[in-house]
Amino acid sequence: IALIAALTDCTIAGNGGDGVHCQDSKSAKFIRCTISGNSGDGVRCQQSSPALTACTISGNAHGISCFNSSPTLAGCTISGNSATTGGGMLCDQSSPTLLGCTIAGNQALEGGGMYCARGASPILTSCIVWTNIGGSVTKDATSDPVIAYSCIEGPAPWPGDGNIDRDPLFCGWERQEAWVDPREPLPE
């Protein structure tokens, strides 16, 4: 019998290390959790594939760091994290899948939003990666992020279907709420 660890509507905060550390875990699930203010990574994945849905990951070292892992994130906000590389997300030999996520307001010397190393192949669909100090998505020569229908800050749209590089016009950012007012047209 397989055991599935699931945490719903939890706050994981103020730890002296990682908020969540998944190792050799294939079934951990986090739903509407807040993972913040941890001195280590918000979520650290090693040879794991946790699922995070509608979670907020903020104020940690890396928001999420992945090593040989394939986490799935849907509707998550990753903000206010700070690290040397990959402030919002560090992908090392990993293939995370992000759907409808916002990665904003993170910082790093390289890859403030996301840093991809050693053959990382993240998939981002319908995501916003904006206002990250140290770059939106940075990759080494061996990595190949696949990004589609997303808003990625940069000098030009990220290569891929339907990508744009227009300001998403965040509202309410001071409360760590990132959303776009659908009634307002994008600036020309």
Q: What share of the chain is helix, strand, coil (3-state, %, to 5)?
A: 0, 40, 60
pLDDT the model gives residue 173: 56
**What span, in angstroms and rounded, lies between the C-alpha atoms of 19 and 168?**
29
Instruction: Give, in degrees to the nearest 5, the angle at Cα 26 between 25 and 31.
Output: 95
Longest Cα separation, the chain:
56
The mean pLDDT of 51-64, rounded to a whole number, is 96
The contacts of residue 185 (CB under 8 Å, 6+ apart) are none
Could you tell me the pTM of the whole model? Answer: 0.88
Q: With bands split at pLDDT 50, 70 and 90, how would you rate the model's confidence at 180?
A: very low
In this structure, the number of other CB atoms found within 10 A of the CB of residue 142 comes to: 12
**pLDDT value of position 5:** 76
